[in-house]
Amino acid sequence: MKLIIIGAGPGGYETAVAAARKGLDVTLVTAGPLGGTCLNEGCIPTKCFCHDAHLHHLLSGMLNPSDSDSDRSATSSVPDDALAGMVARKDAVVEQLRSGVESLLKGVEIVHGIARIVNAHTVHVWPTEAESAADMSLSPEFDSGREYTADRIIIATGSHPAWLNVPGAVDTPGVLSSSDMLRLKELPKRLTVIGGGVIGLEFASVFASLGSKVTVIEYCRTILPHFDADLAKRLKQSLTKSGISILTGTEVTGISAAQETYSDEPHAVGCRTENGSSADADCGNAPDWHPVQIVTVRSGEKTSAVVSDKVLMAVGRVADTRVITGCKGIEADRKGIRVDDNMQTTLPGVYAIGDVNGRMMLAHAATFQGRVALEHILRDCASGSEGSLQGGTDVPQHCCSSAIRLDIMPAAVFTVPEVAVVGLTEEDCKEKGIAFKALKSFYRANGKALASEAPEGYCKLIVAQPAQPNLRDGQILGCHILGSGASDLIGEITALMNFNATVSELRSIIHPHPTLSEIIQSCVAM
């Protein structure tokens, strides 16, 4: 069987490796470097920045033990060469991992180009140097590129940053995407982050730790609006304590460029042109003037402005569905390409995994969705409908989606402190009519946390109580952790939830001492 996978992010390349090992003839098409957004401009680069910023923050605390977090952030900016060093280390890590991905893909045909699906068995690929995929014709008379055919197609094209639809958002200099932030050569003294979700808060935490004065603007009444409300509240308090200004329930109404002069007066802004340009004939060339961005906001009836050197647009991501342009039979909505529980689109034989289907925009979710899609394809092969396949007789005769718990997909936010969650929140349980109990333990009572100077945080378990239809008494329904190492700790609870474990079963697990994992154990202590 021949399989084409479009997109080389975690979902795409890991599915390609797995399919090749099963004996499929795999072609992987990518418009960008191997590893996709996650490896090159997302998960990995940002975690490099998070790590380096956290180290800087800890070092500043050791050198200035009497300073508060907010004072430390205001006075301990990293020099530009240090920021350049962070970028260089990030690039080195990315290159190392990208080489690893390339070695894993031996035996997979890799095609670099811009793909469009013609029908259920045909993909046309243009060279990457093509100016715009939108300008490419999908008529039968292709004037460039090449056609590839396959028995099955998997779409794994991911997503791209969303952009706020307000005046000045697109054309104002200094308004940056998350990718742009990773290439900064100078640390902005003031940074405005539009969006209080995962991406926005991670960058806010990083640049505040490096010394930037950060303001976060969130339209909803709370940051991380889809997370546990108690956790979001505690994280907001922590980030505010670190010097980050957070404006919730606040709407951005416009963005404009201006010139600011150095003055004893705060936010002394002048010489803004009518069209919002940062250039001005009278003062634009003066040495004591520099460009800034003005973000106008509205909260209730009150209108105000936030002045900063850079603005990060972090209002979410949008599924990249351009691959299906002109293809009949594949349906999509505002969230992404429509798929069933097997990740199959409305065009039989074509699958969509990861961000592009809009179900769950997480790299590890894409990987597991790829397993679901591949298992469905392998099942068809094993039935004999698609010919012989190496190892095909060992393929289970049921769809993998029944075995993979996509409903308990963990997620993490790499702020300082970290956030990690899995499963239901208290609000979810109330909405679903599930009787539950919340069990808590706190970092300040943990020896390893105190020894590591990380006493801030807590762990909350959501458990069913009493037994209910389809639920065991004490069954773990969710976990929400705020604190150091949260992203690692959540894995234990996710594993337990995968097997519908209860509090009693968690209580029987021995955790090493002294470790942060004892915080989980403390939630269920007798």
Q: Which of 366, 404, 405, 353 is CA-nearest to residue 152?
A: 353
Residue-wise pLDDT tens digits, 495-523: 999 999 999 999 999 999 999 999 999 99
Q: Where in the chain is the domain with CATH 3.30.390.30?
A: 417-523
The secondary structure element, H or E, covering residue 295 is: strand 289-299
What single letter denotes the amino acid at residue 407? D
> In this structure, are strands 152-155 and 2-6 parallel, antiparallel, or unpaired?
parallel
Task: Spell out the residues 6+ positions from residue 303 whose beta carbon is closer than 8 angstroms to its own.
Answer: 253, 296, 297
Residue with tokens 């190492």: 485
Q: Where in the chain is the domain with CATH 3.50.50.60?
A: 2-34+105-158+317-402, 163-313
Residue-wise pLDDT tens digits, 400-436: 444 678 789 999 999 999 999 999 999 999 999 999 9
What single letter denotes the amino acid at residue 487? S
Q: Which of 392, 316, 380 is CA-nearest to residue 342?
A: 380
Per CATH, the architecture of 417-523 is what? 2-Layer Sandwich (3.30)
Distance CA 450, CA 453 (A): 5
Asked if 297 contacts 305 with a C-beta cutoff of 8 angstroms, the reply is yes
Query: For residue 279, what pLDDT is reported?
Result: 38
Query: For residue 46, what pLDDT is reported?
Result: 92
Q: Which of 313, 295, 310, 314 is CA-nearest to residue 174?
A: 310
Query: For residue 362, what pLDDT is reported?
Result: 92
Reply yes or no on domain 2-34+105-158+317-402 having CATH 3.50.50.60: yes
Query: For residue 380, what pLDDT is reported?
Result: 77
Q: Which DSSP letter does residue 223 get?
A: S
Token pair of 370 as six digits: 């790829």
What's the mean pLDDT when you consider all of the chain? 87
Query: For residue 525, what pLDDT is reported?
Result: 87
Reply yes or no on domain 163-313 having CATH 3.40.1190.20: no
Asked if 208 contacts 243 with a C-beta cutoff of 8 angstroms, the reply is yes
Catalytic annotation, residues: 513
Range name among 111-120, 359-368, 383-392 with the lowest pLDDT average: 383-392
Decide if pLDDT at 364 tops 60. yes
Distance CA 378, CA 394 (A): 10
